[in-house]
Amino acid sequence: MYHNLKIDKSPSFNNNPSLDDLRHSLLENSIEITNETEEIGMTVLNQLIQQGEQIEESSGQISNIYTISSTSKKYLNKIGWKICKKKLTLMYVILLLVLIDGSLFYRLFTNNGHIF
Protein backbone atom coordinates (compact mmCIF):
# COMPACT_ATOMS: atom_id res chain seq x y z
CA MET A 1 0.00 0.00 0.00
CA TYR A 2 2.78 2.41 0.88
CA HIS A 3 5.44 0.82 -1.30
CA ASN A 4 5.20 3.42 -4.04
CA LEU A 5 5.31 6.42 -1.73
CA LYS A 6 7.69 9.07 -3.05
CA ILE A 7 9.84 10.92 -0.61
CA ASP A 8 9.99 14.63 -1.20
CA LYS A 9 13.60 15.83 -1.19
CA SER A 10 12.82 19.51 -1.63
CA PRO A 11 15.03 21.95 0.15
CA SER A 12 14.07 22.59 3.72
CA PHE A 13 14.52 25.56 5.94
CA ASN A 14 17.72 24.15 7.25
CA ASN A 15 20.14 22.90 4.62
CA ASN A 16 21.94 20.72 7.10
CA PRO A 17 22.50 17.35 5.30
CA SER A 18 22.47 15.37 8.50
CA LEU A 19 19.02 16.67 9.42
CA ASP A 20 17.68 15.80 5.95
CA ASP A 21 19.23 12.35 6.22
CA LEU A 22 17.59 11.90 9.60
CA ARG A 23 14.21 12.96 8.23
CA HIS A 24 14.63 10.62 5.28
CA SER A 25 15.62 7.74 7.56
CA LEU A 26 12.66 8.39 9.89
CA LEU A 27 10.26 8.47 6.95
CA GLU A 28 11.63 5.19 5.59
CA ASN A 29 11.35 3.59 9.04
CA SER A 30 7.75 4.82 9.32
CA ILE A 31 6.92 3.31 5.91
CA GLU A 32 8.54 -0.01 6.89
CA ILE A 33 6.63 -0.09 10.17
CA THR A 34 3.41 0.74 8.35
CA ASN A 35 3.99 -2.07 5.84
CA GLU A 36 4.82 -4.56 8.61
CA THR A 37 1.73 -3.48 10.54
CA GLU A 38 -0.40 -3.96 7.43
CA GLU A 39 1.03 -7.47 6.91
CA ILE A 40 0.36 -8.36 10.55
CA GLY A 41 -3.16 -7.00 10.21
CA MET A 42 -3.79 -9.12 7.12
CA THR A 43 -2.45 -12.22 8.89
CA VAL A 44 -4.69 -11.57 11.90
CA LEU A 45 -7.67 -10.94 9.62
CA ASN A 46 -7.09 -14.25 7.79
CA GLN A 47 -6.82 -16.08 11.10
CA LEU A 48 -10.06 -14.50 12.31
CA ILE A 49 -11.80 -15.52 9.09
CA GLN A 50 -10.61 -19.12 9.58
CA GLN A 51 -11.74 -19.10 13.19
CA GLY A 52 -15.15 -17.76 12.15
CA GLU A 53 -15.50 -20.61 9.65
CA GLN A 54 -14.51 -23.11 12.34
CA ILE A 55 -17.10 -21.64 14.71
CA GLU A 56 -19.81 -21.90 12.06
CA GLU A 57 -18.84 -25.52 11.35
CA SER A 58 -18.85 -26.31 15.07
CA SER A 59 -22.26 -24.70 15.43
CA GLY A 60 -23.64 -26.98 12.71
CA GLN A 61 -22.13 -30.01 14.38
CA ILE A 62 -23.61 -28.99 17.73
CA SER A 63 -27.02 -28.67 16.08
CA ASN A 64 -26.67 -32.20 14.66
CA ILE A 65 -25.58 -33.55 18.04
CA TYR A 66 -28.60 -31.91 19.68
CA THR A 67 -30.95 -33.51 17.15
CA ILE A 68 -29.37 -36.93 17.67
CA SER A 69 -29.48 -36.62 21.45
CA SER A 70 -33.16 -35.59 21.35
CA THR A 71 -34.00 -38.62 19.24
CA SER A 72 -31.96 -40.87 21.52
CA LYS A 73 -33.72 -39.46 24.57
CA LYS A 74 -37.12 -40.30 23.05
CA TYR A 75 -36.05 -43.89 22.34
CA LEU A 76 -34.59 -44.32 25.82
CA ASN A 77 -37.79 -43.01 27.38
CA LYS A 78 -39.84 -45.52 25.35
CA ILE A 79 -37.52 -48.34 26.45
CA GLY A 80 -37.82 -47.17 30.06
CA TRP A 81 -41.63 -47.27 29.89
CA LYS A 82 -41.57 -50.76 28.38
CA ILE A 83 -39.32 -51.97 31.19
CA CYS A 84 -41.57 -50.33 33.78
CA LYS A 85 -44.66 -52.03 32.31
CA LYS A 86 -42.94 -55.42 32.32
CA LYS A 87 -41.88 -54.96 35.93
CA LEU A 88 -45.44 -54.08 36.94
CA THR A 89 -46.77 -57.13 35.09
CA LEU A 90 -44.20 -59.32 36.79
CA MET A 91 -45.11 -57.89 40.20
CA TYR A 92 -48.81 -58.64 39.60
CA VAL A 93 -48.00 -62.22 38.54
CA ILE A 94 -45.85 -62.71 41.65
CA LEU A 95 -48.58 -61.28 43.88
CA LEU A 96 -51.16 -63.55 42.24
CA LEU A 97 -48.92 -66.61 42.75
CA VAL A 98 -48.35 -65.67 46.40
CA LEU A 99 -52.12 -65.40 46.89
CA ILE A 100 -52.71 -68.78 45.20
CA ASP A 101 -49.95 -70.41 47.30
CA GLY A 102 -51.39 -68.83 50.45
CA SER A 103 -54.87 -70.11 49.57
CA LEU A 104 -53.58 -73.63 48.90
CA PHE A 105 -51.55 -73.64 52.10
CA TYR A 106 -54.61 -72.49 54.09
CA ARG A 107 -56.76 -75.15 52.41
CA LEU A 108 -54.20 -77.87 53.19
CA PHE A 109 -53.92 -76.74 56.79
CA THR A 110 -57.69 -76.53 57.43
CA ASN A 111 -58.57 -79.85 55.67
CA ASN A 112 -55.96 -82.03 57.38
CA GLY A 113 -53.66 -82.23 54.35
CA HIS A 114 -56.39 -82.63 51.71
CA ILE A 115 -57.04 -79.90 49.20
CA PHE A 116 -60.66 -80.96 48.53
Mean pLDDT, residues 49-54 taken together: 95
User: According to the 3-state scheme, what is the secondary structure of the chain?
Assistant: CCCCCCCCCCCCCCCCHHHHHHHHHHHHHHHHHHHHHHHHHHHHHHHHHHHHHHHHHHHHHHHHHHHHHHHHHHHHHHHHHHHHHHHHHHHHHHHHHHHHHHHHHHHHHHCCCCCC
Mean pLDDT, residues 26-53 taken together: 96
Mean pLDDT, residues 4-25 taken together: 67
Mean pLDDT over the full length of the chain: 88
Q: What is the pLDDT of residues 79-114, one digit of tens each?
A: 999 999 999 999 999 999 999 999 999 998 888 877
Whether residue 116 is predicted with pLDDT greater than 90 in this model: the reply is no
